[in-house]
Chain A
């Protein structure tokens, strides 16, 4: 697992001084690349302080009964990719610059970033129980350590605290927008449970599921901070479309990486999606050349040898290239919409992010 831990400190205690303590949060998988302090548009360095404040705030809000507190804070140690908060914060500042020539982050916008990260983590906790995953982010998963029941309860608890914090922003529109994310996340999981008979429907189904499971949170967080900045509907749409395209691109690359050995990984790529019975973009594209994949998809790769064969077919076809091409297209679209904002450091950083997403493939 190529998650680099730059900072030796663990745990979520309040940090005494955000700038004095060099807690470098990695914004994306970037093996070997340190956030460039001198690069004015580097997403990680632009959001470093905001993020460390955020995590210490989240940990304060999760104070509770011993074990519940322990479990809830387990994933908020700043070791995750933190893509969502980075994007949310950058979008906030970019929009604030665009509308008010002032790139300072509003308290309410920072709250949205926190809420978004908590919703994401709560869904991860539940996902790990559903997928029976033993590890997450390089350490044992919550369900592995504490059992399924407590993991589910802790996930619900994190969600309820996030929901309380959301209400405390006192903006009804924002509550509606982010509540929709919750509904989308669950619907996405359901969509994953079922499969479509018709091959033509399958890709549309996959894209819709990808939006609900991954892009929805990012898109609606972006929209929410645009609302808080006082943006009108067209500006909210800009923010939403950026988030949506970035989210989909991100997921496409994730799905692709499942089939490809990254240079940092020892051993084979995980092919986890196949093992879980999921047909992602590379497989769906590969069906064009290898229709024998279709029955395998219908039976969710359950028969012995299915996973290996499907893996081979994907590599023999142009499924990976097509997936990469689609990801690039979504990134282009994200760049196109965000370019309608007035230029600012943060706006450029948002463009840099699309670059980083594509470069995860190298």
Chain B
């Protein structure tokens, strides 16, 4: 049966997806939480009516977790990511880098040199982006690609050439866009509040002002690119989904209390619901909506869209509980 293959693939990849989200130094209780979350979403995906034949829906194999130390976990992470990348046939570490090789960005790079030696957060973000490409910073795009491939395409007559490794051009574009938006958000979060009281030294204030300028422009550039990319997908529902995701994580920045530098502070009524609400908006929404959009692009119906949405949401929350 053609339609059961995508689910088989997802079933096989489940371990890789598990590996990805389990790479962290965390307390056992959080890992239990993760396991339950991931187990639930696999169960949901596995129990789709399309593949009643698969065993995945009935039993969640016991996830063995060991108390392996942080150092031993690192190679697993990289292997998990590279295996996943082979499945989708795309080196996702370069997803955002491609947009970096443009006139505007080389302009920015020139200006960034002036920031070297200052303590503007933008430098740290830029370094992470360029030198740590294989880390989890690019994993959102990878998840979008994986779920695109797992969901498969409805029309079996569509030429295989159009879909190298089972993922359409539009879906790849969407994965890139997701990464761009996430990066833009990180960059904008690095903007620093400039009250003279904090930066009394003239030169530091100038550095910070300049750093802010570059941060705003580069974030805006990535967002604008994401928007033109979205427009070219020729699907206004996808544009709507992703735009509302951006609204969500902007709103998240205003939930709760903050210090003068915009760092979040715990409040008196902090509880698990507050955490979930805030983090759904901050992290879950983009992932969830991108996953939903990815299967929407392949023409799948509401049910699969909803499941992808939930999958993206749970995996993002699982991630976030590790941070």
Q: Is the CB of B243 within 8 A of A163?
A: yes
With CB as the reference atom, state the residue of chain A lying closest to B237.
Answer: A167
Which of the residues A64, A163, A185, A193 comes within 8 Å of B246, measured between beta carbons?
A163
Shortest distance between the CB of B238 and any CB in chain A (Å): 8
* Cα–Cα, bound, A67→B253 (Å): 10
A99 at the binding interface (Cβ < 8 Å): no
Q: Is the CB of B228 within 8 A of A130?
A: no
B69 at the binding interface (Cβ < 8 Å): no
* Cα–Cα, bound, A172→B254 (Å): 32
* Cα–Cα, bound, A70→B16 (Å): 44
B194 at the binding interface (Cβ < 8 Å): yes
* Cα–Cα, bound, A185→B221 (Å): 9
| Contact stretch, chosen from B135-143, B210-218, B300-308 | B210-218
With CB as the reference atom, state the residue of chain B lying closest to A157.
Answer: B250
* Cα–Cα, bound, A166→B243 (Å): 10
Shortest distance between the CB of A121 and any CB in chain B (Å): 14
A179 at the binding interface (Cβ < 8 Å): yes
Shortest distance between the CB of A167 and any CB in chain B (Å): 4
Once A147-B195, A152-B191, A170-B236 are accepted as A-B contacts, the answer to whether A194 and B107 lie under 8 Å apart by CB is yes
With CB as the reference atom, state the residue of chain B lying closest to A180.
Answer: B228
Q: Which residues of B contact A170 (CB under 8 A)?
A: 236
A345 at the binding interface (Cβ < 8 Å): no
Q: Which of A144-171 contact B (CB under 8 A)?
A: 147-150, 152-154, 156-157, 159-161, 163-164, 166-171
Which of the residues A148, A160, A190 comes within 8 Å of B212, measured between beta carbons?
A148
* Cα–Cα, bound, A190→B260 (Å): 30
Once A149-B192, A160-B244, A167-B237 are accepted as A-B contacts, the answer to whether A176 and B107 lie under 8 Å apart by CB is no
Annotate B186-230 by CB proximity to A: 1 below 8 A, 0 otherwise: 001101111100000000000001001100110111011101101
* Cα–Cα, bound, A157→B252 (Å): 11
Which of the residues A156, A171, A190 comes within 8 Å of B104, measured between beta carbons?
A190
With CB as the reference atom, state the residue of chain B lying closest to A151.
Answer: B191
A132 at the binding interface (Cβ < 8 Å): yes
A67, A159, A163 interface centre (most CB from chain B within 10 Å):
A163
A64, A65, A171, A194 interface centre (most CB from chain B within 10 Å):
A65
* Cα–Cα, bound, A179→B177 (Å): 14
Q: Is the CB of A129 within 8 A of B221?
A: no
A204 at the binding interface (Cβ < 8 Å): no
Once A64-B251, A148-B192, A185-B224 are accepted as A-B contacts, the answer to whether A179 and B216 lie under 8 Å apart by CB is no
Once A126-B216, A156-B246 are accepted as A-B contacts, the answer to whether A149 and B191 lie under 8 Å apart by CB is yes
A272 at the binding interface (Cβ < 8 Å): no
Once A171-B236, A172-B236, A179-B228 are accepted as A-B contacts, the answer to whether A160 and B247 lie under 8 Å apart by CB is yes
* Cα–Cα, bound, A153→B212 (Å): 13
Once A147-B195, A157-B247 are accepted as A-B contacts, the answer to whether A68 and B254 lie under 8 Å apart by CB is yes
A28 at the binding interface (Cβ < 8 Å): no
A175 at the binding interface (Cβ < 8 Å): yes
A308 at the binding interface (Cβ < 8 Å): no
* Cα–Cα, bound, A179→B232 (Å): 9
Q: Which residues of A contact B234 (CB under 8 A)?
A: 172, 176
A187 at the binding interface (Cβ < 8 Å): yes
Q: Is the CB of A156 within 8 A of B232?
A: no
B55 at the binding interface (Cβ < 8 Å): no
* Cα–Cα, bound, A126→B217 (Å): 9
Q: Is the CB of B228 within 8 A of A67?
A: no
With CB as the reference atom, state the residue of chain A lying closest to B190.
Answer: A149
B70 at the binding interface (Cβ < 8 Å): no
Q: Which residues of B contact A179 (CB under 8 A)?
A: 224, 227-228, 230-231
Once A149-B192, A179-B228, A186-B217 are accepted as A-B contacts, the answer to whether A67 and B235 lie under 8 Å apart by CB is no
A-B contacts, CB under 8 A, total? 135
* Cα–Cα, bound, A51→B111 (Å): 41
Q: Is the CB of A132 within 8 A of B228?
A: no
Annotate A337-353 by CB proximity to B: 1 below 8 A, 0 otherwise: 00000000000000000
* Cα–Cα, bound, A173→B80 (Å): 40
Q: Which residues of B contact A160 (CB under 8 A)?
A: 243-244, 246-247, 250
Q: Which residues of A contact B254 (CB under 8 A)?
A: 64-68, 150, 153
Annotate A108-145 by CB proximity to B: 1 below 8 A, 0 otherwise: 00000000000000000010011010000000000000
With CB as the reference atom, state the residue of chain B lying closest to A177.
Answer: B231
A183 at the binding interface (Cβ < 8 Å): yes
Q: Which residues of B contact A68 (CB under 8 A)?
A: 250-251, 253-254
Once A160-B246, A186-B104 are accepted as A-B contacts, the answer to whether A175 and B212 lie under 8 Å apart by CB is no
A326 at the binding interface (Cβ < 8 Å): no
Q: Which residues of B contact A183 (CB under 8 A)?
A: 224-225, 227-228
B217, B220, B221 interface centre (most CB from chain A within 10 Å):
B220
Shortest distance between the CB of B277 and any CB in chain A (Å): 11
* Cα–Cα, bound, A151→B232 (Å): 29
* Cα–Cα, bound, A187→B234 (Å): 23
Q: Is the CB of A148 within 8 A of B194?
A: yes
Q: Which residues of B contact A176 (CB under 8 A)?
A: 228, 231-232, 234
Q: Is the CB of B240 within 8 A of A186?
A: no
Q: Which residues of B contact A187 (CB under 8 A)?
A: 104
Once A149-B191, A156-B223, A167-B243 are accepted as A-B contacts, the answer to whether A132 and B216 lie under 8 Å apart by CB is no
Q: Is the CB of A167 within 8 A of B224?
A: no
Q: Is the CB of A167 within 8 A of B240?
A: yes
Q: Which of A168-225 contact B (CB under 8 A)?
A: 168-172, 175-176, 178-180, 182-183, 185-187, 189-190, 193-194
Q: A126-B220, A175-B231 are in contact. List 10 more A-B contacts (CB 8 A).
A: A64-B251, A65-B255, A149-B192, A152-B216, A160-B243, A160-B246, A160-B250, A164-B247, A170-B236, A179-B224
The contact sample of 5 A-B pairs, CB cut-off 8 A, is A65-B254, A147-B195, A147-B260, A176-B234, A178-B231
State the A residues within 8 Å of B (CB).
64-68, 126, 129-130, 132, 147-150, 152-154, 156-157, 159-161, 163-164, 166-172, 175-176, 178-180, 182-183, 185-187, 189-190, 193-194
